[in-house]
Amino acid sequence: MNFDYTDEQEAFRREIREWYEENLPDGWIEGDRDLPDDEDEREQFLREWQRKLHEGGWAAIHWPEEYGGRDASLMQQLIYQQEKARVNPPPERSEIGVDLVGPAIEGFGTEEQKERFLPKILNGEELWCIGYSEPDVGSDLASLQCKAVDEGDQFRINGQKIWTTHAHKADWCYMFTRTDDSGPKHHGITALIVDMDQEGVTNERIRQITDEREFNQVYFDDATTPKENVLNEVDEGWEVAMRQLSFERISLSQSLDLERRFDELVEFCKNETRGGTPLVEDPHIREKLAEFDTRIQAAKLTYFRNVSKQMNGDLGAEASFGKLYDSEVAADLHRFRVKLGGPKAALWGDDSPNGAAKDSLANISIRIGGGTSDIQRNIIGERVLGLPKGDQE
């Protein structure tokens, strides 16, 4: 891979940097990155940030221009992700819609669906959640049991979804349902777009280990959606799911963010002293930092390789390797941050060194979302290495 950037690509990088410098909240680049504590105030803050991104043309650079994007090349997307990791901007209110739902609608939706849903994803006017996981199903999406019954001009939906991020705020759910159970389990799955604001949909927020409540259990009791809200064809939702999961596994790459967190950790070790000596001078800590630097650079190269393969149109199951590797490095890095924090690492909030405790707990979800680490290992073994499936002799 050629690691040099062209003059045009560097100009694109400068454009991003200048926009961030002009539009990020006051003090953000200098490190004042606190979001409002009040949930309603935080929601308003994120709405405003999403509006700025949209008006500046940075809300979805990977989307086609006709739908409000920039038709950005993969190299431009990579540069954008690098600059985004550098400044660590506020969360994007429409991240799920922009990164996951939008590409699925753009790839499989009708023109009417694209015109109806894509603009309001981009400007943050409508929020989305994704209905994948179900109780008692685990990571086997093909075993889902949430049923959608064909009633002619609509589907009637009954069942449950769990770990549904932002379902309590979402206007729409992009979900997968069982519409036929007479054949193989991968057949008979249908992708539906469902209005969350109806009598048959109930959310139950889940308190997470970080004390946040972004996840939900969602109950569908005779909820309905019209036939025009089928994405792709009836019973052919598995293809949609696999494409969307490949986007999710690439979007879950943490390599660029890991590099930023590693740099912050090195600064912490330079400034934190034990017994009058900076942590960075401890030979055991220096050795561990060198090990993490090596692993993170390997993660970056894996990410760059996947970008290169995607540019050539041949990225497949290899995306699982990047997702798996990043997750394991991140987990180890966060544990090390907690260990270096000493007794103070058990504290919460601003008193915890670098927020190590909360970050370590929050990182657990990254090893689950987009398919657990064990699922990624199965995909790599079966589809990349050609190993037999686990249920074979």
Average pLDDT, the chain: 87
**Would you give the DSSP letter of residue 202?**
E
Beta carbons of 155 and 179 less than 8 angstroms apart = yes
- Measured CA to CA, the distance from residue 185 to residue 140 in angstroms comes to 10
pLDDT tens for 169-214 read 999 999 999 999 988 888 999 999 999 999 999 999 999 888 888 8
Contacts for 134-142: CB closer than 8 Å, 24+ residues apart = 134/159, 134/160, 134/161, 134/162, 135/160, 135/162, 135/217, 139/371, 139/372, 139/374, 139/375, 141/176, 141/241, 142/185, 142/186, 142/189, 142/238
What lies within 8 Å, CB to CB, of 362 at 6+ separation is 210
Count of Cβ atoms closer than 10 Å to residue 365 Cβ: 15
Query: Which of 113, 117, 116, 67 lies closest to 96, judged by CA?
Result: 117
Per-residue pLDDT tens over the stretch 107-140: 899 999 999 999 999 988 999 999 999 998 766 7
Q: What is the pLDDT of residue 343?
A: 81
Predicted confidence band of residue 322 (pLDDT cuts 50, 70, 90): confident
Radius of gyration of the chain (CA): 22
Give dist(CA 268, CA 160) in Å, integer. 44
Top pLDDT among 294 and 85 is at 294
Both structure tokens of 144: 């889902």
What pLDDT score was predicted for residue 294? 96
Superfamily the domain 128-240 falls into: Butyryl-CoA Dehydrogenase, subunit A, domain 2 (2.40.110.10)
> What was the pLDDT predicted at 249?
47
pLDDT-derived band at 252, boundaries 50, 70, 90: very low
Residue type at 165 in one-letter notation:
T
Question: What is residue 170's predicted lDDT score, i.e. its pLDDT?
Answer: 95
- Check whether 310 has a pLDDT greater than 60: yes
CA dihedral 84, 252, 192, 70 (to 10 degrees): 30
**CATH architecture observed for domain 7-93:** Orthogonal Bundle (1.10)
**What's the rounded mean pLDDT across residues 100-105?**
91
CA angle, corner 329, sides to 327 and 333, nearest 5? 115
pLDDT computed for residue 282 by the predictor: 95
How is residue 147 written in tokens?
A: 């049923």
Q: Residues 108, 246, 68, 101: is their CA dihedral positive or negative?
A: positive
pLDDT at residue 37 in the model: 84
Q: Which CATH number fits domain 252-384: 1.20.120.420, 3.40.50.300, 1.20.140.10, 3.30.1490.150?
A: 1.20.140.10
What pLDDT, on a 0 to 100 scale, did the predictor assign at position 45? 92
Give me the catalytic one of 83, 92, 106, 248: 248
User: pLDDT, tens digit, for every residue of 71-91?
Assistant: 988 889 889 988 998 899 999
Contacts of 17 (CB under 8 A, 6+ apart): 83
**pLDDT-above-70 percentage for the chain:** 90
> What average pLDDT does range 279-295 have in this prediction?
96
115 is catalytic: no
Q: 14-18, 181-185, 375-379 — which one is most confidently predicted on average?
A: 14-18
Most confident of 166-180, 258-272, 338-352: 166-180
Indicate the length of the chain as a whole number: 393
Q: Is 53 within 8 Å of 92 (Cβ atoms)?
A: yes
Residue predicted with more confidence, 375 or 69: 69
Q: Residue 26, class by beta-carbon neighbours within 10 Å (0-12 exposed, 13-18 middle, 19+ buried)?
A: exposed
Q: Provide the whole-model pTM.
A: 0.82
pLDDT at 248 over 60: no
User: What confidence score (pLDDT) does residue 392 get?
Assistant: 44
Question: Domain-by-domain residue ranges, the chain?
Answer: 7-93, 128-240, 252-384
Instruction: Give me the pLDDT at residue 20, please.
Output: 96
Q: Indicate if the pLDDT at residue 278 is higher than 50.
A: yes
